[in-house]
Amino acid sequence: MTEADPQLTGETAELLQVMIRNACINDGTPASGGEVRNAGTVDDALDGLHLDHYEPISGRRSVLATVEGSDPDAPTILLLGHTDVVPVSPDDWREDPFGGELIDGEVWGRGAVDMLNLTSSMAVAVRHLATRDHPPRATVKFLAVADEEAGGTWGAGWIAENAWDDVACDYVLTERGGVPFDGADGRKLVMASAEKGIGWRKLVVHGTPGHGSMPYGADNALITAAEIVRRLAAYQPRAQINEHFRAWAATLPVDDATRAALLDPDTIQAALAGMDPHLSQYCHAVTHTTFSPNVAHGGTKTNTIPDRIELDVDIRTLPGVTDADVEVMLTEALGDLADRVSIEDPVTTRAATTSPSDTPMFDLLRRRAAAVHPGAEVIPWMIVGGTDAAFFRERGIPSYGAGMFSPKASLQEFASRFHGHNERIDLDSLGLSTQLWIDLADGISP
């Protein structure tokens, strides 16, 4: 089946509206989130199914539902959806970000694309599979998790660590895929099969304290830190032209000379500099381990020369790059200022993860995409941020960022709604994603 079922589409939209209104805002603090509200909504939606709950700290509740399949040889599929959302700047929205209004065929609100749309479509698909007159071929687990937006500590990360047997599976399907677009060589859809690693560091820049009235020749840690920030911003490790980037580069609306230059580590920097920033940002991120100095703390008083400045650097690593490699890169970036800095142990670190794109599940995703969007070819995509898929990939489970969307929003417009203002999703996309999960559960072969 290819068409979305209008009944199920309506159910997904209604569930999405409730989940948006529950406003499970995760600001990164343990006391935020309140995903117990969306967990309760999932409980209500899946009343009668076998459910397990995880709540490692108060309010951060996750739910697991299981529907047994008919074919004992079929792989087990885990549908993984997060229930938290990031904060908003309400004044910049055209509609109430927590109103969950349906306006001109679109559901509005925080989480409408990241990722309550998919989480609600997964819940409705699982309910349909469990309550229709025949079971799915594959056993399907649906895990609605807290805390994805702050790294999964109280959600998928905790569950993978403490309740692995409950969520063990053969494939994971989660966010960040399925948006169609017209590339230079035809219609495409991205499905994520990899994501970059995280290697956050805190750099402590040292100086010598003194009186602010006599700055001449002073060893001012803030001035040293300013130069370190400049060097980090300018630092470019050598590009890695990986298979994900090759597939992506083929779709780019650039001339052949630019495309060739992008695929050569010696010329990619110059080619990026000449491109539209909307295109070059991702191209840069997917080919480089990146360093972004994003937080500075230090100094105590206007009349005191500071002896200590802390810099938080967001480092995102490519596949194959280790913690030791990051240390080498930092030393190279800092140059003769390296001995003025102590680097604290990694604050958050997780290696990049990659799943093969030649599995029966990825083949099925390719076939579903081509059925819904005739002629569309699927590109295995590398996410440059982080998702909960990493907890499963690093335990050897092929995990894909999937979904199925209508062409109503361009890939660029769609991407801008993640954590952006005026987040919204069209009903067709809600129906197509709901149908995708059903089709995968019925269509996957051993």
Residues that bind Zn ion in the complex, under the rule CB under 5 A: 114-115, 175
- Closer residue to Zn ion in complex, CB, 84/439: 84
| DSSP 8-state assignment for residue 338 | G
Single out the residue of 38, 420, 356 nearest to residue 170, CA to CA.
356
**Cβ atoms < 10 Å from Cβ of 68:** 14
CB 176 within 8 A of CB 367: no
- Closer residue to Zn ion in complex, CB, 8/115: 115
Least distance to Zn ion, CB of residue 442, Å:
26
- Closer residue to Zn ion in complex, CB, 106/114: 114
Question: What is the CB-side half-sphere exposure of residue 3 using CA atoms within 13 A?
Answer: 3
- Closer residue to Zn ion in complex, CB, 106/423: 423
- Residue 198 CA: distances (Å) to CA of 17, 190, 240, 319: 33, 22, 17, 11
Q: DSSP strand E in 5-68: where? A: 50-54, 62-67
Instruction: Kindly write down the DSSP assignment for every residue of 233-283, as one continuous string.
Output: HH--PPP---HHHHHHHHHSSS-HHHHHHHTSTTTHHHHHHTS-HHHHHHH
- Closer residue to Zn ion in complex, CB, 311/390: 390
Distance CA 235, CA 329 (A): 9
Distance CA 332, CA 329 (A): 5
Least distance to Zn ion, CB of residue 218, Å:
46
Least distance to Zn ion, CB of residue 167, Å:
18
Least distance to Zn ion, CB of residue 61, Å:
18
Least distance to Zn ion, CB of residue 227, Å:
36
**Cβ atoms < 10 Å from Cβ of 294:** 10
The tokens 């494939």 sit on which residue? 171
Dig out the tokens for 382 from the structure. Answer: 């590398």
- Closer residue to Zn ion in complex, CB, 23/321: 23
- Closer residue to Zn ion in complex, CB, 11/114: 114
Least distance to Zn ion, CB of residue 174, Å:
8
Least distance to Zn ion, CB of residue 82, Å:
6
Least distance to Zn ion, CB of residue 42, Å:
16
Dig out the tokens for 281 from the structure. Answer: 């940002």
- Closer residue to Zn ion in complex, CB, 285/383: 383
CB-based contacts of 17, cutoff 8 Å, min separation 6: 100, 101, 102, 107, 109
Dig out the tokens for 232 from the structure. Answer: 């980090």
- Closer residue to Zn ion in complex, CB, 115/203: 115
